[in-house]
Amino acid sequence: MAKATDDLVAWEAGWWRAARRVDSPNHGPRPDGAAVTLAIVHSISLPPGEFGGDAIERLFTNRLDWDAHPYYATIRGLEVSAHFLVRRDGTMLQFVSCERRAWHAGRSSWRGREDCNDWSVGIELEGLEGGVFEPVQYRALARLLRALRARYPIDEVVGHEHVAPGRKRDPGPGFDWPRLARALRGQRLAVAPRAIG
């Protein structure tokens, strides 16, 4: 019980001490007065369908060798980031302070509010869009969301597919939203409500 309680208060300038810090240069200031009220779940694997390795970390820190794989030519020069990455084994990395605006959602809208990057936290799960995720990833994600909820006024958790419908499809049909909702029962978090963007 002490560990869970420690997680809730283990923040320093928007960095969660339970995650390994890897600084990304791809971020900016949030607009004045923007409260962080939304968590957006994504999925990523580089190259697609391959897990492990450091390609995601390299992408988010602008160190990816664009010639290392044919797929990388399609994303050459991309400058993106997320606040967190949850690996297949549940390991957690943080790239951007939650006090800052990470570049994860792109063109997006939720409940009539544009540009979700301004008021959200982006969480990448290592996985293939539409594929299944590991049980340990759900546990790690729930732990992170509880810690975020204790620190920020986050009240909803949605997928990239919800805030950018038609443009994005992650995490996709392989992600078990009811499972996440069960893990977060009692947290006063709406989990993937019907996409009404």
Whole-angstrom distance, CA of residue 35 vs CA of residue 174: 30
Is residue 116 a contact partner of residue 158, using CB atoms and an 8 Å limit? no
- Angle CA 133–134–140, to nearest 5: 105
Handedness of CA 44, 45, 51, 57 (dihedral sign): negative
User: Which CA distances in Å does 12 have to 57, 149, 173, 182?
Assistant: 22, 15, 35, 29
Backbone φ and ψ of 177, nearest 5°? -60, -40
Amino acid at 41: V
- Angle CA 140–162–95, to nearest 5: 45
Please indicate whether residue 99 is annotated as part of the active site: no
Query: Parallel, antiparallel, or unpaired for β 27-29 and 100-102?
Result: antiparallel
Question: Which one of the listed residues 50, 57, 79, 124 is annotated catalytic?
Answer: 124
Indicate which residues carry an active-site annotation.
Answer: 124
